[in-house]
């Protein structure tokens, strides 16, 4: 008997080579380093989709509708993959003290069909994946720790055991002198990008590896 682990990384950042996507790539590489791992990364900004439209089709007590999102758009195949994942890695920069709109829209479409309004509130998806969040932001890390804890706790309740990795006081521009951005200490940000960001990426790699180890499923072969 072997072991397999199905990894899905969801990138909720607009740019594929900046802070969030880079950290998420490290988390994904960490997860993929585990034996039996297979997976892919989906970039939400490449897709054409909307958040939950509140049609309530997923709450209908009909086999073909219950626990499925009835909206058909660019997110439809991604939702099927997320439901089948053993490890889900989700990356978002912090925009206005929250995750990006695209990440939020993904969560609405993923979370809502996976819960009922029944008294017991038992999650209905067949798997309970391990979830690793990746957040990057300009503010110091402790600024949003209650927000991260809240999101992680909601994810753990609705989807599966979750944790997070962060990079804070990230480098937003290469050359701060070209932008209206005097509030930033450009030297400090640059130094952190060179010295701290690689360590944050290592922590993300380690988180991915750890979650994939824990998410491994036995196979029959």
Residues found near ligand FMN in the complex (CB under 6 A):
13, 15, 18-21, 93-97, 136-139, 170, 172
Burial class of residue 1, CB neighbours in 10 A (0-12, 13-18, 19+): exposed
Which residue lies nearer to ligand FMN by CB, 46 or 62? 46
Q: Do the Cβ atoms of 77 and 106 come closer than 8 Å?
A: no
Q: How far is the CB of 98 from ligand FMN (least distance, A)?
A: 7
Q: Count CA atoms within 13 Å of residue 132 on its CB side.
A: 32
> Which alpha helices (H) appear in the chain, and where do they start and end?
19-32, 76-84, 101-111, 145-158, 186-195, 197-215
Nearest to 130 by CA among 210, 215, 204: 215
The values of phi and psi at residue 100, to 5°, are: -70, 160
For ligand FMN, give the closer residue by CB, 21 or 90.
Answer: 21
Name which of 21 and 165 has its Cβ closer to ligand FMN: 21
CB-nearer residue toward ligand FMN: 51 or 101? 101
The encoded tokens of residue 135 equal 């957040």
CA dist 141 and 28 (Å) reads 22
In whole angstroms, the minimum distance from the beta carbon of 106 to ligand FMN comes to 16
**Smallest distance from the beta carbon of 40 to ligand FMN, in angstroms?**
19
- Short-list 154, 129, 125, CA closest to 7: 129
Minimum Å gap between C-beta 57 and ligand FMN is 33
The distance of closest approach from Cβ of residue 26 to ligand FMN in the complex, given in angstroms and rounded to an integer, is 13
Question: With respect to ligand FMN, which residue has the nearer C-beta, 58 or 166?
Answer: 166
Contact 195, 170 (CB under 8 A): no
> Is the Cβ of residue 44 or residue 115 nearer to ligand FMN in the bound state?
44
Cβ neighbours, 10 Å, residue 199: 11
């Amino acid at each position: 008997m072997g072991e397999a682990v199905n990894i899905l990384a969801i990138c909720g950042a607009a740019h594929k080579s900046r802070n969030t996507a880079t950290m998420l790539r490290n988390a994904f590489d960490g997860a993929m380093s585990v034996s039996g791992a297979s997976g892919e990364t989906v970039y939400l900004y490449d897709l054409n989709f909307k958040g939950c439209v509140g049609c309530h089709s997923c709450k209908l007590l009909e086999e073909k509708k219950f626990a499925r999102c009835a909206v058909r758009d660019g997110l439809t195949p991604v939702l099927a993959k997320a439901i089948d994942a053993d490890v889900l890695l989700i990356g978002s920069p912090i925009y206005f003290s929250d995750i990006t709109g695209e990440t939020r829209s993904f969560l609405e479409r993923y979370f809502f069909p996976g819960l009922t309004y029944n008294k017991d509130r038992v999650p209905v998806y067949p798997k309970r994946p391990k979830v690793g969040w990746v957040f990057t932001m300009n503010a110091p890390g402790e600024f949003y720790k209650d927000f991260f804890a809240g999101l992680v706790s909601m994810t753990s309740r609705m989807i599966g055991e979750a944790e997070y990795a962060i990079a804070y006081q990230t480098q937003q521009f290469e050359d701060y002198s070209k932008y209206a951005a005097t509030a930033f200490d450009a030297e400090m940000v640059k130094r952190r990008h060179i010295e701290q960001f690689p360590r944050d990426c290592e922590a993300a790699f380690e988180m991915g590896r750890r979650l994939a180890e824990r998410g491994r499923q036995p196979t029959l072969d």
